[in-house]
Every structure is written in C-alpha cells, then in structure tokens.
Structure 1
Amino acid sequence: MKQDAFFQTIIHHIGGEGNVARKRFDGEHLYVTVKDSGMADLEELNRLDGVSGTELNRNILSVTIQEDFLEDVTMAKDFKQLAQNIMTLAGAKENVTSVFHCMTRLRMTVKDVKKVDRKAINDLDGVLGVTYQGGQLQVIIGKDLLKVYEEVLKLGYSDGGAVDEKLDGDLKGEKISVGQAVIGYISAAVQPMVPALIGGGMIKVFLLLISKVYAPFADSSTYTLLSIVGNAVFYFMPILVAYGAAKKLGATPTYSMVVAGALVAPEWTAIVSAGDPVTMFGINVALKGYGSSLLPALLLAIVAYYVEKFLNKVIPGVFKPIFVGTLTMAATYAVSILALAPLGQLAGTYVTAAILWLYNIAGPITVALFTALFPYMVMTGMHMTLGAPMIQLLSETGFDPLFRPGMLLSNMAEGGASLGIAIKAKDKAIKSEALSVAVGCIFASVTEPAIYGFNLPLKKPMWAVSLGGAIGGVVAALLGAHNYEYGSSSLFALPIFEDTIVAMVIAIIVTIVASCVLTILFGFDEEILKKH
C-alpha cells in the first residue's frame, strides 16, 4: 500500500482534505495537522485496517501504523519524485554542472546560484536544510541520501562520487571573494587524500596496539612492512596534495605530482643529509626535507598550472606532446626548489607555531571555544577547511591537541543532546528517531540529522550542544588529551589518542552527560518537531 493510498483510507474520518493543513509520514507514524480537531473521529480511525492507534494533541493527529502494514507504507517514500523536485528547483541540467555527495548531503556545483530556488528546496518533504558554501549547493537529506542520489543519477546526471575536487565552479550568479577562493582551493587539494590519511593512521594505531599486547611483534618483518604502508601516506603527502590541487585547477595532475615527487626523492634526501652547498643556475638552494609537507605542493601546483597554460598557447600543436610536459615540469621544479618549497615550509612552520602558541596560552579556553562553535562550522560548511591545518599540525609536531579532540567532542555533544531529547520526549516516534540519531552521532560521527532534524529546530538543545561541548573541551585540555594520528571523529577512532586515551574517554563521558542533562533541563517544545 502506497502512502497516498493509506492516507486516503483515513481522510474521510478527519474531515476530508479541506481540513488537512499538512501531513507527514515518519517511521511507524503518520502525522496530520488538522484545521479543526473536532472533525477527527478517533474511534472510527482505530477501527481501520492498518491502524493500531491514534492520538490527538491539539491540532496534531498521530496515527500509528500496524506492523504488518508498516513496510509497505513507510518504504514507499518517493525518492524519485524528491530527486526530480530538487534538481528542477536547482535549475536542472541547464544550471547544474556536477553532482556528488558526502554521507548526508547531496552536493552540486551550479552555473548561476540565483537560478536556484533554495527556499522551495528547503520546504520539500525529505530535505533537512539547504546551504551554499565554497561554490557548492548542499542539500541536507540525512539517512536517505544515497537513495535520493541514486535517483538523481537515473535522471541523467553523471556520478561525481563521494568526493569532487572541483568544489568551486565558475559561478556567474555569486561573486567569490579571494578568501573563499583560497579556502576552496586548499579544501579541494586536501580532500582526495583524507581517506588515505585515515587508513594510514589507523594502520599505525593497530600496529601499536598489537605490539602492546604481544611485544615481539614489533621486531617482526610483518610489523616493519606494514609500518611502511602506514607511514607512506604521510611521507609522500606532497604528491597527494599536488594531485588534488592540480585537479582543482584543471591542470594535468601528473606534472605537479612529478615535481612534488622530486621534492621527496631519495636523491634529494641524500643531498640534504650530506649538507654540502648546492646551486641551481648559480643560485643557492635551501637544503630542506619536504616529506610530510603541505604548502609547497599547494604553491607548485599553481605554478605548474600557469606554465602549462602558457605553453599550450605558444607552442604549435605538433610540438605540444614533446615540449609542454617537459618544460612545465622543468620550470616548475626550478621555481619550487629555489623559492616556493622553502617559503611554503616556512609558512607551514609559522601556522603550526601560531596554533600551538594559542593552545599554550589558553589551552582549555581554546578547545572549549572550538568545540562550542564547531556545530555552526558544520552548518556553514566551514568544517571542510580544517583538513589543511590539522594535517600541518600533525606533520610538524606529531600530535593534535585541538582540532580532532574538539571535533570528536562536538559530535558527542550532538549525540548527548539527541539522547536528552529521546529521554524527555513523550512521543514514541520522536523518542525512537532521536535515539537512532544519537547513536549515529556517537558511533558514526554523522551529525547533520541531529543538527537539522532535532537540535536546530528545537533551538534550546543547540545551546546544550555548545555548552556541553565546551565543558568537555575544558576537561580534555586539562587532562592533556591529544591524538597522534589523523583518524576520524567517532568512538571507533579512540585508539589514535594512544597514551591519552583515558583522558579522552573521560572528556567524552563528561560531554555526553553534560549535553544530555542540559537538554533535559532547558526543555523544548515537542510540537515543533511534529510540525517540522
């Protein structure tokens, strides 16, 4: 039985369609906002096939669907229609240049953002919110994201995958500031290597844990070989960054990757180790190691892009295969080894020093503020810009006392607030959904359903999230919690905190309890969720 068919079976007992202001299916419940509650005949409704119970709270009618009807009714959500509506309101193929996704958001680049009806998209059933950040139109869908994305692809849009490097299209409708362009460039360059960073970091963590349990394992060849894999992603980071940066710029990635590879080549490492003066074109070359560096690759990719672009204009077509690549790599390497790489490394060192200075001056306050503000960074998409400083901090110092602890605690705070909603709410459907969302925040680090589905609409739980996260941040900083690998922001990533894992566990418990209790104490209007 489809949702519309089920609704038609009850409509005559609630005063007809003229008495219906809004309807919404959610799990085992159908919520109907009626204009005149006196026209709803609960006794007749309870006699209908498929109805196991009803409840009328002011103008909100809740109809509980029988278990044997549940699958047919609730699984009938029209993802195809939702996908069609979203893409049509976004300007369809005439305006949408690419589509891709993360865990909870349908993302797309558009030619003209003014042609997008964001309000209409936001009002669609199944959409939790809409934001435009860094050249991306982001439609927040939540747990049904992949089902909607599949329907979008069936409409003829090409699959951009889970990660798209060209985050900022050529937008005619919205002017991009220099700051936005820089942030978009860095984010796009770093994003492709994040899965490898997480994988490499977790390999190192698992090796450490195994060697703690069985000490002889640390001396085995298996340990040594797997360590090479775990360390490779960090040592060869310039090559991975160069790939993402070149893809973002629209350049040939291999040119930038080769130059970045030359900065970490064994021959160059040997020259640096020897310490003997080296010149290029009569200019002294700074003897520095660039393994695990970030900024040199970001800078050299820009040079490679413009050199390649210039050469493609001036070199005749028949000679391009021979000279464009050759001259692009040679020129980019010369500029990089003489100037860009040393400057990039120096700038990275200053960035790291500034972060550590701020943490050392006011560690607990710094972590508390970052944790409290992180949910709002997620809402605006600004959290995507944190990858670069996180990676730089880890590569320079080997640990992170601010970013990952704060992000993890923020997720725990979202989960704690959702747990508080589940405890305090009276409606069974809200209790069940809030509990499910809380589990997603805590164990899977997926917070958008909590933010847009519960905490933000109710407002007061967002206060609890920020305050509870800040309390946890203070505890984490005072106990000295910090991670040694990149990892992720969920409970499963706790091993990355190694010898400070106990401190982080204590901070997590404090955060969840604080945000949960504060949500219960602050209270919330449950009717907002029913209407939402």
Structure 2
Amino acid sequence: MKHQETAQQIVKSVGGVSNVKSVYHCVTRLRFELKDNNKADQAALKKLDMVMGTNISGEQFQVIIGNDVPKVFDEMVKEYPALKQTAEGNKQVDGKKQNVILKIFETIAGVFAPMLPAITAAGILKGLLALFVTLEWLSAGTDTYRILSAIGDGVFYFLPMLISFSAARKFGSNPYIAVGVGAALMYPDMGALLSSGNPVSFLSIPVTAVSYGSSVIPILLAIWILSYVEKTVDRFIIPSLKLLLVPLISLLVMVPVTLIAIGPLGTFVGDGLSGGINWLLNEGGLISGIVLGGAMSLIVMTGMHYALVPVIISNLATLGFDKFLPLTFISNMGQAGATLGVFFRAKDKKLKSVALSTSFTALMGVTEPAMYGVNMKYKKPFIAAMIGSAAGGGFALAFGAKAYALAGNGGIPGLPGLVGQTFWYAFGGMVIAFVVAAVVTVLLGFHEEADDAEQISGSIAAKPADVTPAAPAPVEVEVEPASATADSTAYAPMTGKAIPLKEVNDPTFGDELMGKGIAFVPTIGELISPVSGTVMNVFKTKHAMVIRNTDGMELLIHVGINTVKLRGQFFEAHVQAGDPIQAGDKLLTFDLAQIAQNYDITTAMVVTNTADYKQILPLKLGEVAFGEPVLKAEL
C-alpha cells in the first residue's frame, strides 16, 4: 500500500500525468521528462517518507527513492497506464528546445535502463561461471556448464533483439516490428551468408559483411530510423490496409537499408568509439585512472556516463571484460569514505548518525544520500571523495583492473562483477578510494551549520531524519522526552499582528507539518517569553529557539522565513539552553528594519508536541501587544 500511495503522491507532485512526457527508472531514481519542470513541487516530494530527494540533470527531473524504486514505478504505471507509453517523451513541447547532447544521453539511458535486469543477471552468471571454473568447482566441458553458459551468453548474443524492443518503445515505433528487424539480422542463415567470405548483394547493391551478434550501435540507429519510416508509411496507407501494409513495408525497407548502410556505419561508429575509449583506458593507465576516477562523480551527476553504456555492454559482449566499470565502484567507495570522514570529524550527534548511515548505504552501492545529502552539502567532503576516487582509480588502471560482468550495483553487492584475474587490483582501488577519502575529509574538515525548522522537527517531534539533496545538516536538540500534564496558555511574545499559522508563506509552518500554533508580523524587534519554564535550545544562528513550559508544552519560535541564511547577523540572544525563564523575560532582540529589507519577518510560534493535546486554539488574531493571551492548548 505504501508504494501505491507514494506513486500517487509523486505523480501529483510532478504536476500530474498531463505534465509527464516520459518516465523510467534506474537503480535508485525515477527519471521524468516533464513538459514543465516548474510545475513539480520539490518541497512536497521531499516530504514523502520514501523519497530521499530530488535532482534536475539537464532537462530530466529525478526523484531519488533508493532500492524500492522498481516497486514504486510498477505501482505508478499500474495506476496510470498512460505512463507506460514513452513516445511522447521524444516530442518537444511548447517549442522548447533541448540540449542535443543531453537529449542523446537521456535517450541512451531510456533505452538501456529497462534492459538492465536481464543484462545484469546474465553478467553476474558469467562472472560466477568464470569463478567456478577457476576454482575447479565446475568443468567447462560439462552439460551443466554449457546450459548455464547459454543463459549468460544468450542475452548478450541476442542483444540486438532486446535493444530493438526497448528502443522502439523509446522512439515511438511498434516494438514487434522493431524486433522483426533485429530477428532478421540475427537469423542464422543471414549470419552464414554474411560470414561466408563471398560478395553479398541485394538487388545488385553491395552488402557489407558485418556481424550483428552482440552489436549495439547498428540496431540502435536502425530502430531510430524505423520510427520515422513507420510513421511516414502510416500516413499514406488507408486505414483498412494499415495492419497489413505498414509492418510489411517497414520491414522490407528497414532490413535491406540496415544491411547496406546503417549496419556498416553503426559498426564503424561503435568500433571507433569503443576503440578510442579502450585505447585511453589501456594506454593511459595511471593517468587515465586518476583523471577518470576523480571525475567520475561529476560524470555521473551530469548523466554523461549513459553515453558509455553501449561501449560497456559491447566490451562485455565481445571482449568479455570492461575497464571503465571498476571506476564506478571506486567512485562509490570514495563517496562512502568521505561520509565516514564526516562521521569522525562532526561534532553534532545527529550529523554523525546521518553520516554513518549514508556511508553504509554508499558501500552498498546507493550513493545518492551520501553524495547529495552530506558530501555536496559540506563541499570539502565531496572534494575529498574525488581525491580518494582519483587515488583508487590510478591504482586500479595502473594494474589493468577489469570488470567481467555488469553487476547492476557499484557497491559491495556488485563485487561478483569484478571476479576474475584482476579482482584484487579492482578491490584494492576501492579500498584506497575509501580510506583516502575518509582521511582527507578528516584533514580538510568542514563547517557545520545550524539547522532550520524543517530539519529540527525530526529531533523535536521524534520524526526520522530526512536525507535530501542539498539539505542543511541536522542539529541535535537535547530534549528530554516529556508529555503535557495540564492545559496551557501562551502569551504574545511580540508586539504586532497575530495571524493564523496557515497564512505563513512557508509550507513547513503553513501546512502545520511541525504542529499547530499561531504566527505574528512584528512591529518591534524584540521577543519575550510567552510562558514560564525552561529554554531547551537556542539555534546557533539565533533566529529560533525551543522552550518548554512547566506543564510540558513545547514551543518552537522561529523569527522570519529563511532567516537562517543570515547566520546570526542582526540577532542577539539573551538566554541559552538550560536557562529557567519566566513569562515576560526577554529572549531575543533583532534589527527588524535590516532583516525586513530582504526577508519575510513573519514569526511562527508552534506547539511541537501538538499530539499531546486534544485541541490548540488561537485566542486572539489581529493587533496584539506583549503579554496578551494568544494561544491555548487543551488536553
């Protein structure tokens, strides 16, 4: 049920089905192509329990979920069948032009992402078979080995047919016609004809002999062109004959055109691209490892790694190994090590907890919480992660580390993909990246910041901490568990205008996510205590504090919207955590005129333990002065 509800809320928050051009998922993210990214409510998405955060890469809007992303995606397409169709994802909307390079990356990602389960399973099986033969647990000549080998090799050999189906869905072509094109190229007699060594022609036009088994680029180009051929033919055929003639003409055109022109061209491009990258990895050695290893996190963030997917798959299918994949493992270990360094260096207990947990998830191959939630937030740990990855990458490629299968996971669970003759070099690179990143993070240090209301709510209201991209680091609030023991009344903490909390222009307060309460638009830059009790916490930036009265009512008073960015400028606190207070005591003074120049000065007063009360009622709205009763909490 939670996956279904999450799927519904995500679709609603991205602007509804009508705003979605296409959607697919990778290992950890839903990747949307929206008609208008501005319609997506990122704040609402980040509030969902299963959503770790959001990210925009080029034109692509990403919702980071983690390991449950396939289940959420399945519920999404079940609830909204229209989202299964990706044809609309290739049409420009409202005349908006897209970056061509980014469009290519996104297209490649959209084609290969649905195929990853089959490719990953086959790749891991091939790696395990190689391990079993090396350990002499299985002989290569047995029937068992040959059957298992067919399972692993079959996916790669018939890769053009898998690509045909997936590419057709991406390009808006009939997937079964596309598979027909791939099947014709893979037909045994076609392979025998092209490999015979004799000249081959079609209607007296020479056909270049090319092997299509395990190929990637030729069939990708063929299905892209097929999508235009099919649509063109469809426009000229009368409706009663479409079912018969459109598939027939499309196949009769595309198979010969592919054999004569597209296949040789695609093979040339694919071989050139693979050859160039493999030459760089083979000949560059240490230098290539340092440069690519250090830059890998940036490559992944921009989506450029998807451009290499065809090369990686082609290498695995034809060479039996790939040298680029180990760098993805090493980069992930760099992110994991950096967050572990944050754990050792941080002073705040909550930040330590978040850093340690995200370091573990990065070790398991899910790096988004570590990279976006911690390392990029504090910048220096992200730099340390790149330094560690550069060191590990240099070591690995200096010794020729290889991956022998596409494991589908760049962490510890994906290690079977590295099993082979160079396993220990790849593993050594991972260890180096992890250790160096952790040590450099500890040495460089970072600046811990005070948190704002959205994050502090986790500590006060006993909610789990959220880890979201670019989120401020959580701050521990030492508050002893307590329950309200009697009805309580709070008095106006400032002079000005009292307004309903729902009118605050901040969803954290306006939607009462932290609890019920009241808000004020002050006319005097002074905050006095609305109750008698104890100061539980004063934010380092002095713009907010938590107090508890003698009957257990907990109040968060937050002066202004986004005033945490002032870092304490224009604020002066007159109390500190642990101080006893009486109603009317001065808590805080602030320069109202200076702050109001750039910030909304509306001040929220929220009962953070709202759940302890039957109801919380504003007693007065409109003009108020210090000390007037404004809020009552009833058990």
- Which residue type is aligned with residue 136 of structure 1? Q
Q: What's the counterpart of residue 222 of structure 2?
A: 300
CA shift at 1:80, angstroms? 6.3
| 1:373–1:338 CA distance, 2 compared to 1 (3 A) | same
| 1:349–1:325 CA distance, 2 compared to 1 (3 A) | same
Q: What's the counterpart of residue 466 of structure 1?
A: 386
* Match status 1:500 vs 2:444: no
CA shift at 1:469, angstroms? 0.3
Q: What's the counterpart of residue 449 of structure 1?
A: 369
Q: What's the counterpart of residue 399 of structure 2?
A: 479
* Match status 1:438 vs 2:359: yes
- Residue among 426, 435, 440 paired with 1:513: 435
| Alpha carbons 1:135, 1:168 under 8 Å: kept | no
| 1:122–1:88 CA distance, 2 compared to 1 (3 A) | closer
| Alpha carbons 1:286, 1:338 under 8 Å: kept | yes
Aligned length: 450
Helix, strand or coil for the counterpart of 1:529?
coil
C-alpha distance in 2, partners of 1:165/1:396?
31
| 1:96–1:181 CA distance, 2 compared to 1 (3 A) | closer
Q: What's the counterpart of residue 35 of structure 2?
A: 111
- Which residue type is aligned with residue 333 of structure 2? M
Helix, strand or coil for the counterpart of 2:195?
helix
Over the aligned positions, Cα root-mean-square deviation in angstroms equals 3.2
- Residue among 82, 91, 94 paired with 2:15: 91
| Alpha carbons 2:338, 2:437 under 8 Å: kept | yes
| 1:309–1:165 CA distance, 2 compared to 1 (3 A) | closer
Helix, strand or coil for the counterpart of 1:389?
helix
| 1:468–1:303 CA distance, 2 compared to 1 (3 A) | same
Structure 1 segments, 4+ long, off by >6 Å, are 77-83, 143-154, 163-166
| 1:387–1:313 CA distance, 2 compared to 1 (3 A) | same
- Residue among 46, 54, 57 paired with 1:130: 54
Once the two structures are superposed, what CA deviation does each residue of 1:378-420 show, in whole Å capped at 9, x if it has no partner? 333333333122223333433222x211111000111111111
| 1:381–1:160 CA distance, 2 compared to 1 (3 A) | farther
Q: What's the counterpart of residue 335 of structure 1?
A: 257
- Aligned pairs for 1:48-87 within 5 A: 84=9
* Match status 1:424 vs 2:345: yes
CA shift at 1:468, angstroms? 0.5
Once the two structures are superposed, what CA deviation does each residue of 1:334-378 show, in whole Å capped at 9, x if it has no partner? 101111111111111111121123224422222222222222233
- Which residue type is aligned with residue 196 of structure 1? A
- Which residue type is aligned with residue 315 of structure 1? I
| Alpha carbons 1:241, 1:298 under 8 Å: kept | yes
Q: What's the counterpart of residue 568 of structure 2?
A: none
Q: What's the counterpart of residue 351 of structure 1?
A: 273
| 1:103–1:332 CA distance, 2 compared to 1 (3 A) | closer
Q: What's the counterpart of residue 386 of structure 1?
A: 308
| 1:235–1:311 CA distance, 2 compared to 1 (3 A) | same
| Alpha carbons 1:415, 1:512 under 8 Å: kept | yes
CA shift at 1:332, angstroms? 0.3
CA shift at 1:103, angstroms? 4.4
Helix, strand or coil for the counterpart of 2:208?
coil
Q: What's the counterpart of residue 290 of structure 1?
A: 212
Which has the larger strand fraction? 2
Once the two structures are superposed, what CA deviation does each residue of 1:316-344 show, in whole Å capped at 9, x if it has no partner? 11112221111111110010111111111
| Alpha carbons 1:104, 1:140 under 8 Å: kept | yes
- Residue among 164, 167, 178 paired with 1:256: 178
| 1:166–1:180 CA distance, 2 compared to 1 (3 A) | farther
Q: What's the counterpart of residue 554 of structure 2?
A: none
| Structure 1 spans left out of the alignment, 5+ residues | 1-76
- Which residue type is aligned with residue 305 of structure 2? H
| 1:352–1:513 CA distance, 2 compared to 1 (3 A) | same
C-alpha distance in 2, partners of 1:384/1:216?
35
Report the more deviating stretch, 362-371 or 142-151: 142-151
- Which residue type is aligned with residue 378 of structure 2? L
Once the two structures are superposed, what CA deviation does each residue of 1:196-227 show, in whole Å capped at 9, x if it has no partner? 11111111111222223335532210110110
Helix, strand or coil for the counterpart of 1:171?
coil
| 1:82–1:158 CA distance, 2 compared to 1 (3 A) | closer
Once the two structures are superposed, what CA deviation does each residue of 1:75-128 show, in whole Å capped at 9, x if it has no partner? xx99969974x655533344235555444434333222343455x568758665
Once the two structures are superposed, what CA deviation does each residue of 1:416-451 show, in whole Å capped at 9, x if it has no partner? 1111122222333333332221121112x1000001
Once the two structures are superposed, what CA deviation does each residue of 1:470-500 show, in whole Å capped at 9, x if it has no partner? 0001110112211122223222333333000
Q: What's the counterpart of residue 50 of structure 1?
A: none
Q: What's the counterpart of residue 192 of structure 1?
A: 114
Report the more deviating stretch, 102-111 or 416-425: 102-111
- Residue among 59, 64, 68 paired with 1:140: 64
| Alpha carbons 1:90, 1:116 under 8 Å: kept | yes
C-alpha distance in 2, partners of 1:79/1:319?
41
- Residue among 300, 309, 312 paired with 2:234: 312
- Residue among 214, 230, 242 paired with 2:164: 242
- Which residue type is aligned with residue 14 of structure 2? A
Q: What's the counterpart of residue 199 of structure 2?
A: 277
| 1:121–1:101 CA distance, 2 compared to 1 (3 A) | farther
Report the more deviating stretch, 340-349 or 122-131: 122-131
- Aligned pairs for 1:145-156 within 5 A: none
* Match status 1:224 vs 2:146: yes
| Alpha carbons 1:189, 1:242 under 8 Å: kept | no
Please tell me whether Structure 1 or Structure 2 has the larger radius of gyration of its CA atoms: 2
| 1:504–1:93 CA distance, 2 compared to 1 (3 A) | closer
| Alpha carbons 2:21, 2:88 under 8 Å: kept | no
- Aligned pairs for 1:363-382 within 5 A: 363-382=285-304
Which has the larger helix fraction? 1
C-alpha distance in 2, partners of 1:149/1:269?
39
| 1:449–1:144 CA distance, 2 compared to 1 (3 A) | farther
Helix, strand or coil for the counterpart of 1:274?
coil
| 1:153–1:357 CA distance, 2 compared to 1 (3 A) | closer
- Which residue type is aligned with residue 300 of structure 2? V
| Alpha carbons 2:401, 2:423 under 8 Å: kept | yes
- Which residue type is aligned with residue 139 of structure 2? F
Report the more deviating stretch, 92-101 or 107-116: 92-101
Q: What's the counterpart of residue 473 of structure 2?
A: 529
Once the two structures are superposed, what CA deviation does each residue of 1:494-530 show, in whole Å capped at 9, x if it has no partner? 3333000111121111111101111111112333512
CA shift at 1:149, angstroms? 7.1
Once the two structures are superposed, what CA deviation does each residue of 1:285-334 show, in whole Å capped at 9, x if it has no partner? 11221111111101111222122112211111111222111111111001
Helix, strand or coil for the counterpart of 1:506?
helix
